[in-house]
């Protein structure tokens, strides 16, 4: 067994391939095969042959059905030290003859011309002295230890940013030593290192401001342990750790992290907003990234779970939160959208790829979301200009007026909390039906002016037209009118509404919906295209 040279739980990579990383799960003989073997559970995408069951015998349980394999010890590497990885990545010794032969370009006469590296000597002199190195990446280089700490300190004393993505680190003691020795270090990225959830040493690492633990298999229980050491974090990234529960040990609310401004919990398994409410008293939190979770509803905590030890009974939930990213969740109700208005300083929201924001699934188009979100300045990554907000709010009010099944003010305000406010702000009067005795001038005053742009490839070049139409004109009727306006024959049309701030025009799918019901008013632009 000793000849194997590995230990259970150790991170290794395939010899000669630092990108193929796995964890040792078995050491010893394999029935029917001579010698010692190492059973490895390879990380996702690294490939394997089975799940730890071979020829009817269970040796270990792998994470995937085909993520495991057995290898000879000589086929695996236990990795290298961080100083060696830095030298390998940033060495600037003279190129070998073979490397220099590969460095050429072709001239206009197709002759090979050698490439001369301008400033090569200057770069070599600078990087031979690693004192100049401020930012370094040794991603997927098989780093398994810090090596001698004095060696590391003397090699890169001024390093501020270190990317350790995809290496073999797993023990927090190594990370603490590394951060203590490199006093200038502020950013450390441990993405795709399987970090152990337990550690004994606790240091105070006030120099680390950004900690990245994406794809590390960490739990919030571990986060609660390490927050004492990383007491001055500004950013904490915890993407893709399969987290579902935020375990707050005291008072059901997360405490500490007094300097934390950005918390990234994207691509986890959180399905209850109650878990997010546990973060509501992080006093410096400005950005909360929750894309790609399983959230169905959002509410503003009217009675946050304050702990007596927090010492601040007047704390305002999510007081400094400016950015809330909720894309690719399962939110499907307007109550969740409307609740975002209650967050005191929320101005940047992402709701894309939720049912409520997908018109094709019965969700709301962009203009409705803008109108319902009164303080939002950036929606789904796109700035909301003053003009777009004004047009969206007016269109929204008209939409509500056209589709309201009841004119009971209480009912309308319950379903559309901003309707009354917006109607008064924009001076929109109630629509009155046109009487039979109305004259031509009064009839004309009820028309809306829209611009029609013909873009279909087989329609020929057409000049845009501006037409005045009754608000009751349906999408189907407008298609028929376009046939005459643009002299089109035997072409099936599709209509789209062009909106400022929207990357793609909105498809007008409901044939029987009127312009008023769709919230389309004067100044709108309709794209006339042909069915593909």
pLDDT tens, residue by residue, 147-191? 998 999 999 999 999 999 999 998 898 999 999 999 999 999 999
Per cent of the chain over pLDDT 90 is: 55
Q: What is the pLDDT of residue 309?
A: 44
What do you get for the CA distance between the two ends of the chain, in Å?
Answer: 67
pLDDT at 501: 58
406 vs 293: which has the higher pLDDT? 293
Give 4: exposed, middle or buried? Use CB within 10 Å, 0-12, 13-18, 19+. Answer: middle
With a cut of 50, say whether residue 469 has pLDDT above it. yes
Indicate the burial class of 132 (C-beta count within 10 angstroms; 0-12, 13-18, 19 or more): exposed
Q: Is the pLDDT of residue 227 over 60?
A: yes
- 37, β-bridge pairs: 28
List, for residues 494-519, the tens digit of each pLDDT value. Answer: 899 887 656 678 888 778 878 877 77
- Residue 517 pairs in a beta bridge with none
Distance of CA 300 to the CA centre of its chain: 22
Which whole number is the average pLDDT over 219-242?
Answer: 94
Q: Are 120 and 145 in contact (CB under 8 A)?
A: no
pLDDT at 417 > cutoff 90: yes
Joined together, the tokens standing for residue 60 give 């270990």
Q: Assign 309 to helix, strand or coil.
A: helix
Name every residue whose Cβ is closer than 8 Å to that of residue 492 and which is 6 or more positions away in sequence: 530, 531
For residue 452, give the 3-state DSSP assignment.
strand
Note the residue count of the chain. 532
Mark 263-296 as b/e (b = at least 16 C-beta within 10 Å). bbbbbbebeebebbbbbbbbbebbbbbbbbbebb
The answer to whether residue 104 scores a pLDDT higher than 80 is no
The pLDDT score that the predictor gives to residue 310 is 47
Nearest CA among 305, 302, 297 for reference residue 354: 297
Q: For all residues of the chain together, what is the average pLDDT?
A: 85
pLDDT tens digits, 324-359 = 999 999 999 999 999 999 999 999 999 999 999 988
Q: Chain centroid to CA 479: how far?
A: 40
Give backbone dihedrals phi and psi of 239, rounded to 5 degrees, phi first.
Answer: -65, 145
Residues 6+ apart with CB under 8 A from 425: 393
Of the segments 13-22, 23-32, 220-229, 259-268, which one has the largest average pLDDT value?
A: 259-268
User: Does the pTM exceed 0.85?
Assistant: no
Confidence of residue 311 (pLDDT cuts 50, 70, 90): very low
* Spatial separation of the C-alpha atoms in residues 257 and 231, rounded to whole Å: 6
Q: With bands split at pLDDT 50, 70 and 90, how would you rate the model's confidence at 15?
A: very high
Q: What is the mean pLDDT of residues 301-328?
A: 77
Q: Among residues 29, 30, 35, 37, which one has the least CA distance to residue 76?
A: 37
Residue predicted with more confidence, 166 or 109: 166
């Amino acid at each position: 067994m000793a000849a194997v040279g590995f230990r259970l739980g150790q991170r290794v990579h395939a010899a000669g391939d630092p990108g193929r990383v796995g964890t040792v799960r078995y050491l010893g003989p394999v029935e029917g095969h001579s010698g010692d073997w190492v059973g490895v559970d390879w990380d996702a995408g690294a490939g394997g042959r089975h799940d730890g069951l071979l020829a009817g015998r269970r040796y270990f349980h792998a994470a995937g059905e085909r993520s495991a394999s057995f290898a000879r010890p000589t086929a695996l590497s236990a990795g290298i030290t961080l100083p060696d990885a830095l030298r390998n990545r940033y060495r600037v010794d003279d190129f070998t003859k073979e490397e220099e032969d590969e460095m050429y370009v072709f001239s206009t006469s197709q002759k090979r011309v050698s490439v001369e590296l301008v400033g090569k000597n200057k770069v070599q002199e600078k990087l031979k002295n690693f004192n100049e190195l401020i930012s370094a990446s040794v991603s997927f280089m098989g780093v398994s230890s810090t090596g001698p700490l004095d060696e590391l300190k003397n090699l890169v004393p001024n390093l501020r940013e270190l990317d350790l993505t995809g290496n073999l680190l797993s023990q927090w003691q190594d990370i603490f030593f590394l951060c203590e020795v490199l006093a200038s270090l502020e950013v450390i990225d441990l993405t795709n290192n399987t970090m152990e959830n337990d550690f004994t040493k606790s240091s105070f690492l006030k120099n680390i401001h950004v900690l990245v633990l994406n794809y590390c298999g960490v739990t919030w229980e571990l986060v609660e342990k390490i927050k004492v050491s990383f007491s001055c974090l500004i950013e904490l990234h915890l993407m893709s750790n399969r987290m579902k529960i935020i375990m707050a040990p005291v008072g059901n609310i997360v405490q500490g992290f007094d300097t934390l401004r950005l918390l990234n919990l994207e691509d986890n398994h959180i399905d209850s907003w109650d878990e997010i409410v546990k973060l509501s008293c992080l006093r410096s939190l400005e950005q909360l990234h929750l894309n790609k979770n399983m959230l169905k509803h959002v509410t503003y905590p009217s009675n946050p779970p304050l702990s007596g030890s927090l010492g601040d009974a007047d704390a305002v939930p999510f007081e400094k939160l400016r950015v809330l990213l909720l894309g690719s969740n399962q939110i499907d109700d307007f109550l969740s959208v409307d609740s975002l208005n209650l967050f005191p300083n929320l101005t940047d929201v992402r709701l894309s790829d939720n049912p409520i924001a997908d018109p094709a699934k019965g969700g709301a188009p962009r203009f409705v979301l803008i109108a319902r979100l009164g303080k939002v300045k950036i929606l789904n990554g796109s700035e909301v200009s003053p003009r777009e907000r004004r047009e969206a709010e007016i269109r929204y009010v008209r939409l509500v007026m056209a589709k309201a099944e009841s004119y009971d003010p209480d009912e309308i305000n319950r379903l559309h909390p901003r309707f009354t406010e917006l109607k008064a702000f924009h001076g929109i009067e109630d629509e009155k039906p046109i009487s039979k005795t109305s004259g031509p001038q009064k009839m004309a005053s009820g028309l809306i002016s829209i611009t029609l742009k013909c873009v279909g490839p087989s329609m020929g070049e057409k000049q845009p037209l501006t037409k005045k139409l009754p608000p009751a004109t349906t999408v189907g009727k407008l298609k028929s009118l376009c046939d005459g306006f643009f002299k089109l024959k035997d072409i099936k049309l599709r209509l789209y509404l062009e909106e400022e701030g929207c990357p793609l025009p909105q498809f007008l799918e409901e044939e029987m919906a009127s312009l008023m019901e769709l919230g389309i008013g004067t100044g709108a632009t309709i794209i006339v295209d042909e069915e593909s």
